[in-house]
Amino acid sequence: MDRSQPHDAPMDEDSPLFAIAAASELSGLHAQTLRQYDRLGLVVPQRTAGKSRRYSMRDVVQLREIARLGGEGVSLEGIRRVLELENQVTSLQKRVRELERALADELVNRPGARVFAAGESGVVPLKHGTRPTRQTSVVVWRPLR
């Protein structure tokens, strides 16, 4: 059996690491409360092949947030909505970072492709390293009498 594979996999905040007892201790909530939140869809942990719950660090942080909001008197429905919005913001922030990286990569891979100059016909693109041709004609303005 090759045991090097799991150690090579990168760990992040979404890695399912904690059994329900550990997640309960880390969050400060009773294990039965965690099961209830799973049934309600507030924090849904991943499952092992044997159907045991495995909580990630993100799940534990959300459980702590649920405890904090509940302590402030927010209803479970209110908490569900707050978590939904926070998860949406996190997802959108991740997508923005991906798009920023893609844009930066594109700009690096195409140097000079975004050079422009103002011409008689409007804004015109220029090739990298070229200069626009200058108009040297003289225009005389005379007021109307």
pLDDT tens sequence across 76-94: 999 999 999 988 999 999 9
Instruction: State the pLDDT at residue 141.
Output: 79
Instruction: State the pLDDT at residue 1.
Output: 44
Instruction: State the pLDDT at residue 10.
Output: 67
Structure tokens, 43: 């924090």
Q: Is residue 6 part of a domain?
A: no
Instruction: State the pLDDT at residue 2.
Output: 47
Half-sphere exposure of 13 (CA within 13 A, CB side): 6
Instruction: State the pLDDT at residue 32.
Output: 97
Instruction: State the pLDDT at residue 111.
Output: 60
- Whole-structure pTM value: 0.61
CA dist 85 and 81 (Å) reads 6
Q: Is residue 27 part of a domain?
A: yes
Q: How far is CA 123 from CA 112, 127, 130, 141, in A?
A: 16, 13, 15, 25
CB 70: neighbour CB atoms within 10 A? 15
Q: Is residue 36 part of a domain?
A: yes
Q: Is residue 81 part of a domain?
A: yes
CA dist 25 and 85 (Å) reads 26
DSSP state of 47: E
Q: Which amino acid is at 39?
A: R
Instruction: State the pLDDT at residue 138.
Output: 77
**Full domain range(s) for residue 26:** 12-109
For the chain, the domain total comes to: 1
CATH number, domain containing residue 63:
1.10.1660.10
* Residue given tokens 């844009």 in the structure block: 103
Give me the average pLDDT of each 10-residue run along the chain (145 residues): 54 88 95 95 93 94 94 94 92 95 81 65 72 75 82
Instruction: State the pLDDT at residue 123.
Output: 77
pLDDT tens sequence across 52-80: 999 999 999 999 999 999 999 999 999 99
CB 62 within 8 A of CB 70: no
Q: Is residue 57 part of a domain?
A: yes
Instruction: State the pLDDT at residue 4.
Output: 47
Query: Among 13, 5, 17, 2, which residue's Cα sits nearest to residue 48?
Result: 17
Q: Is residue 125 part of a domain?
A: no
Structure tokens, 100: 């920023």
